[in-house]
Structure formats: C-alpha cells, structure tokens
Structure 1
Amino acid sequence: MILGQTGIVHANDRLIRLSLPTELVESGLPKYLFPRFSLKTQVRVETVAPGEEAEIALGSEGRPVFTGLDQTWSMQVVSTEHPGAQKFADWIRSEIGQRAVTSYVVDGVQMFDLPQLEEVETVVAAYDGDAALGAIRSQEMCGRCHVVDPARRMSSIDSSPSFFALRSLPDWEDRFQTFYVLNPHPAFTQIADVTPPFPDELPPPIVPVEMTLEDVDAILAFVAALTPADLGAPLQHQ
C-alpha cells in the first residue's frame, strides 16, 4: 500500500517522491531517467521504498508504462493535484519519455520496452529557445573544447567532436539535453536549480561552466538549426 493523500499539494512543488521496488532501482533505470526529466521541468525526483509516502508509484498496479525484468511496470499517481507528479506522469507516457526508457542499454542490451497495445502520446519536439542567444552561449561556454564556429576552430580541443558532428548523430537531441551527466561534464558543469553543488573534496579541475535552463534551451535551439556534418560512415563516439 502506498501512503499519501490524493488532492494534497505539497509545499515543495519541485520535488516528487517516487515509490520504486528494489529490483527497478538496482536496474539503473531511475538514475538514467530522472536527470532527463528534471533538466526540462526543474522537478527533482526522490526515490522511496514501497509503503513509504509518495506522490507516484511504479509497480504492478495502475497504467502500464513500460516492460522489462520479466514484467510490465505500471504507474499510479497517488497525489493527483501535485503539479510535479502530473508533469512526471505526462512525461513518462509521452514519446520523449518512452524513448528515454527504451534507449536505456546495459552492456549493449536494451533493458526495457514499451507495453504491447499501449497507445503512446505523441509530443512534437519544439525548440523554443533563443537560437541567437544559443550561438553566443555555445561559443562562451562550449567553445573552449568543441568547434562551434568553423572560423574559431583553433580554440577547440582536437579530441572533442564539433557541434556539427554531434548534430549528425541520431541521438543528438538527447546528448545536448543531458550533456551535464555525460563525462567529463559533471566535473565542471553547474546548471542552476538542476545540478547539486560540487563536493568539497572534488573541486572542478577547470573554471566551472555555469548556466541556466534558459541557456540550455537556447543552445538546443541553436544546434537544431545547424547543418549536420557529412561524416560518411557512422561516427563512433561515447
């Protein structure tokens, strides 16, 4: 039984508690999904054990949202008036959320899939950021490692792919939306209201990159408008 009262709006609308069984936590899926959800919504997700108070629960009861680990995982929205809970429910059922679930791979194996006969809500990707601002922020914040402007190629690091090369990858959108959790970015990147502070014992090795969600949206809009590089054979990049 999931504790909690439907209709109560918690004081912290930017935090939701999600009840998850141990096997789902240990699969690694939550650590993969939550940053992708939090980056766009500014809503943090805290995992709690079944039986503890929660706004949402994933388990055997409710609406099926994905399959894996030899079962179908369903969602219950316990606190229907909590805005953060509703955002998560909408996201996990959307095309973007479902794509995030199915793109989770461990040792080359896709761990989760969509439930059969489940109609997935379609969300059209919209890049509503300021592309002009994105061009400026990309050069300021990313240009020391990546080629953002071909005219400034000498200021980048040879081992870092250019924005044009990254734009040619089929998962470019996911890479740019979640870059801050992909190495080496976590060591020196801070996004206001999303990333936790650097640990005192692990200061950033270089001058930190500090940005807002507006900056991220602007960079995404800028990259969306770039002409992808013609790489010929598929690019192998981690």
Structure 2
Amino acid sequence: MGFVRFLFGLCVCMLCGAAPLWAQGKTLTLSAPSEVRDSGLLAFMLPRFALKHGVRVTVVESDAEAVLGEAGVPVFAKEDFGVGLVLTTDSPHGETFAAWLTSDIGLRTVLSFKVDGEAVFSEPVVVQEEVAEVALSGDARRGQDASLRACGRCHVVGEINRMAGIGSTPSFAVLRTMDNWQERFEIFYVLNPHPAFTIIPDVIEEFDETRPSPIAPVTVTLEEIEDIVAYVAGIDPADLGAPIAHQ
C-alpha cells in the first residue's frame, strides 16, 4: 500500500512539473486583417504551430508582436489580396513563427486549409522588380581599338588578337561571364595588377621617376574606358561548361 502511495505521489509531482511550454513565457501576439481572421485560418493554423514549437499565439486587434497584412514578407494570398508578415519586435518567438510560416511546412499548412472542400488561400504572389537597363555612353568601335592598344598585350580582347595575350590572363570573353564584369572594367585601374602600370589622365598621374612602372606604362582616358565597356558589352560570354563536380 505504501509503495502504491509513493507511485501516486511521484506521478502527481511529475504532472505538476510538466507545465505547458507557453506557461514558461513562450507566447506571441498576432494581428490579422478581417479577410484572414474571419476565414477560420488562424484557428486552423495556430494550434499546429503551437504543437510544433510550443509557442502560444494570441490574436489581438492592435499592438501585436507579429502582424499579418499587406506589408512585409509575402506569406500567402487570397485571390487578389496578398498577405505579408511584419515583426514589430525582436521577439525570438516572432522569428520562430516567421520561419515556420515561410517554410514549406507552414505554406502547406495554409494551403491545406479548406472551406466546404475548397482551398481558401494560395501561394504568395511575389512581384519581380524590373531592373532598368543603363544605356552605355561609349562607342563600341572605338572601344575595340582602345582595348587592343591598352589591353591586348596581356588579354585576348577578341578574334582580332586571338593568338596573343598571356596564357594566365583571362580573356575578355571569360571576364564577360562574371556578374560584375561591367564594374570590373570601369574601375580596372584600381584592381591588381593594373595600378602598377596604368595612367589615367586627371585621375592617376604619371609615375615618379624614382619609382617607375615595372613595365611600359599604359595610358587610358576615362572616355576610352567608357568605349571599352561598350565594346565588352557586345562580347558573348565564354562558354565555360558545367562546374567541376567532386566525387
């Protein structure tokens, strides 16, 4: 009998000590527009999140730590109404909720919510920003001549000097494959090894006689650099093939 009482007391202690996680402060407040609140999605979604992460989410009208609305990171949509998420505080529970809602599991939970057998919400609509192309002001024909004169002794600038250049120096076609190729050409004179032998009138003066360039200096004007960039823009990027796969 005494042993039974002992086991009963032990079970009571264990149950009393196993307080819910949200009783330990893991709570979060959330506000949402009427289109979301009245749909029943929150009553369907939030218990699943709480079961997964132990965070109890309370829906409030205002001053919420997490806000569903038109602004923020797109999380789902309803017809033409996009819903985004904004965290108004640095709450770690808010970050957990955001990570869950933007994950595949969170999105599948939203998409699986149905009313009368019909899905109510859809995947978020992400608007792609159009990137305006910047018109190049240089002259490509003059740029070819400037490239051959200023760069041709080290780089293969095209078919015009295909058998020239230095083997360890990338060709213009290879440089053209880089995402930042335009920036690299526009400021090439500050990228090694060019500062050691490049002169840009009104930008980089001639070398001191006591510290001469190790090779014959190359003089290029800013206008010629614009022409070179225009010329390189018309070069097809080299086909470097697929990346090397390590087994």
TM-score by length of 2: 0.43
Asked which structure has the greater RCO (Cα within 8 Å, sep 6+), the reply is 1
TM-score by length of 1: 0.45
